[in-house]
Amino acid sequence: MVSHPSILAQLDTFVPSLIVICGPTASGKSGLAVAIAQRLGTSILSADSRQVYREFDIGTAKPSLAEQQQVPHHLIDICDPTETLTVAEYQTQTQELIQTLPLAQGNAPLLLVGGTGLYICAITRGLIIPRVAPQPELRLQLANLGQKQCYAMLCQIDPVAAKRIHPNDEIRTVRSLEVFYTTGRPMSAQQGEAPPSYPILQIGLDCATPDELHQRIERRTEIMVEQGLAQEVETLCSKYGADLPLLNTLGYAEFKHYLAGDCSLAEAKAQTVVHTRQFAKRQRTWFRAYPEIAWFDADANDLVEQVWQRVQEFVEAIAIG
């Protein structure tokens, strides 16, 4: 790693700090993060809800082995596909890393990088999350009811939570019901915020126009197909069964239908692009709601230098106190 000791040497005592790089999918977060992490001599913490699962590599755009060799990455490949990592568990593991990792790397701020807004908010805003373990039998019963009925139930028992959850969001709907039926209290009544005291810099990466991001999504989908996305899905279906919940997520669901003969390869790619665009739009809406995020143009020729200047200012401010 190429670090800049002239900046980090100013931090004489341990001060936990964090730099977030967030934004919609395909905006180039991983590449920027590696470049900045190398200059800082620091590590990257993943904030991606699917990259935590082993074997789900191509379809999640997991950092390549080369990238992981250039910069230490954490919170990647920490769960088997048959396991479920809750937001609370992710939060606990990430908070522990933030408190311990900098001690071994000269107090450099860690980079929290990804597009899962809930993961990022869990850290930056210190979300208070109900510690309720997954309930497999209850989840099965809810799954058998179907999303439409589950969401209707949620609207009745926890209307506050229902307003925050899209009617088609099965994961968050089931989780909210799970918390209610396990604790007897609505999930919304058990939530709050306890923001961390350490300094945080939040960098947002996005394209100037939706069309530019759409082009990036199309290119990345083509690259995933060339890297063997269909083969990855086929292997996962064979090993875990086509009904594995993770195989119903973006990219995997479309190619699962292709492998089942329900659509052509071209149709699977087209549907992946469409669904990824829709997902990116939701990510944009989420992140734009947070004024603390400083936005940068993903296509700027001097993007790394722009962000690096902002990072220097952040570290120097910490040193001054």
Q: Give the residue ranges of the annotated binding site for ATP.
A: 23-30
Binding residues, as ranges, are 23-30
Which ranges in 184-242 belong to alpha helices (H)?
Answer: 210-227, 229-240
**Distance in angstroms (rounded) separating the CA atoms of residues 82 and 246:** 9
**Distance in angstroms (rounded) separating the CA atoms of residues 121 and 207:** 22
Asked if residue 321 lies in contact with residue 51, where contact means CB atoms within 8 angstroms, the answer is: no
**Distance in angstroms (rounded) separating the CA atoms of residues 70 and 140:** 42
> For residue 169, what are the β-bridge partners?
none
Pair of tokens at residue 260: 């089942």
Binding residues for substrate, as ranges, are 25-30
Asked if residue 82 lies in contact with residue 240, where contact means CB atoms within 8 angstroms, the answer is: yes
**Distance in angstroms (rounded) separating the CA atoms of residues 236 and 231:** 9
- Could you give the C-alpha distances from 192 to 96, 128, 144, in angstroms and in order? 20, 5, 31
| Neighbour-count burial of 19, counting CB atoms closer than 10 A to its CB (0-12 exposed, 13-18 middle, 19+ buried) | buried
